[in-house]
Structures are given as structure tokens and as C-alpha cells.
A and B are shown apart, each in its own frame.
Chain A
């Protein structure tokens, strides 16, 4: 009997293999992180501080729109169009891990406001994200995701060490996570384009 569960997961895996969701996601993280750093070098007035934030949001919308266009123009004509159904069990697992990590962070130390101001906050998030990536990568047998988990775990002490405040530490964590995701997505996308040239005639039966 064939591995029906494996075949059922293929639509979602196919889209991930194209690299476009990763590329878009990584760029969004990178843009949001950079906007905070830009805020820091600008004068501290309301209007000037708001400008980079809204510019970053507009850029993120543009990136998501561009990702949709790339999928329609470059991905679907090459590898076919599919709209995956959301996988309820894995979504539940990810949300459970996320809320468990947040709850642990808030409840473990009395007076959770001190946790928000603590320099351990973003390293703790990085550790939680690293563990989630490692476990998910192990469950899905995805070495790339496992390596990403190890990278994020290594990022955690670096974030702790940075001699900046927590807001800027948040920006660096977004940039630190966004860059490898975007690079990974771009590499996958390039590989997908090379492996799937445009069909010369319409394949539709």
C-alpha cells in the first residue's frame, strides 16, 4: 500500500519546494527589522518615526503581491497550479508550541513586565523558535528546517550579547531570521526554475 499520508502532503510540499513562500516571508521579516533600525537613526518626532514603519508595511504588501504574481507567472505554468488544504494537525502543533513558549516565558518569572524588558526575552523567543524548527524538521524529515533550527539556537546567545535595548534587539532578531529564510527561498526558487522549464505546448488534457 502506498504512503497515502506522504502523497496527501505533496501539494503543500510542492509550494514550499518552489521557494516563493520562503523568499516572501524572509523579505517581510527583513523589511520589518530594517524599518526599526532606520527609526533609530532618525530624529525622535512622531511623524518622522512613523514614516519608516508605514514604508515597511507598504513594502511588505508589495512583496506579498509580487510573490502572488511570481507564483502565477513563473511557478504555476512550470510545475502546475495547486491550492493546498491547511494541515490541521501540524498547525495545531505549531500554535501549541508557540503558546506554550509564550506562557512559559510569562508565567515562569513573577512580574512578567520585567520579562518583557529583560534582555533574555528575544533570545528566549529565538530558543523557542529554534526548538520548534528542530522538532518540526525532525518530524517532517526536513534537514533544511533542522539546520535553520540550529542556526536560530546559535543566534540566541548573540542576541543576548548585543549591547542594544530590547526594541533594537527585536529588529536584529527579525533581520537575523529573515536573511537566511530569504536566501533559502531564493536558492530553492532558482533550483525550481532550472528543473522546470516552461512547457512548449499546453499540458492540459
Chain B
């Protein structure tokens, strides 16, 4: 279990990464709605994923409304795939 990626392993971050893997990009509101997390909680998880270079965050505006766009990086995508393979292997071994 030691080689399991702890950043992805946390349920909320796993959900964020899985949601972003099905999208080219998504905004903060979509992630908030789909994960059911609070704003602060989602922000802190996104910061952790960004620090690990698993997601990139772009703060922009649509008209006068602020817009936070989030994308999964290639590193994040491969981390998610590796995590899935590792977990499937572990669960199969039980």
C-alpha cells in the first residue's frame, strides 16, 4: 500500500480527478455542484492537486463575472490511470 499515490487516494481529490478526466476543462461551479463539497474544501483540494501539478487552474472573467477554469494535466491523467491500475490490482489480490 505504500506506493499508492496519497494525493489521488483521498476520496474528494479522486472524485475531482475522475470528473476532470472526463472533461477537457470545467469551472469551479461545476466541480462544486458535482462533488457536493463546500467552496473552501474544494479550493483546498484543488490547491493540493495544483501543487502536485495534477491540475492547472486558470482564473479569468466571462464578461464581468469571475471564472475559475480547471484542467487535468497529462501528469494528473497518468497519475489517475496508475492509481486505478494499482487499486484494481490490490482489490483483485484480496
Contacts and interface: CB of A to CB of B under 8 A. Distances in A.
A167 to B, nearest CB: 40
A33 B34 CA distance: 38
Give the interface residue-count category, chain B.
20 to 34
Interface string A71-95: 0100011011111110100000000
Contact of A205 (B11, B21, B33, B68): B68
B29 A11 contact: no
Nearest to B11: A2
Interface string B20-52: 011111111111111000011011001000000
Contacts of A138: none
Interface residues of A, number: 26
Interface string A5-21: 00111111010000000
B19 A8 contact: yes
A2 B83 CA distance: 13
A79 B34 CA distance: 9
A79 B26 CA distance: 11
B18 interface: yes
B79 to A, nearest CB: 13
A43 interface: no
A160 to B, nearest CB: 41
Interface of A: 1-2, 4, 7-12, 14, 72, 76-77, 79-85, 87, 199, 202-205
5 contacts: A8-B18, A77-B29, A80-B34, A84-B23, A205-B39
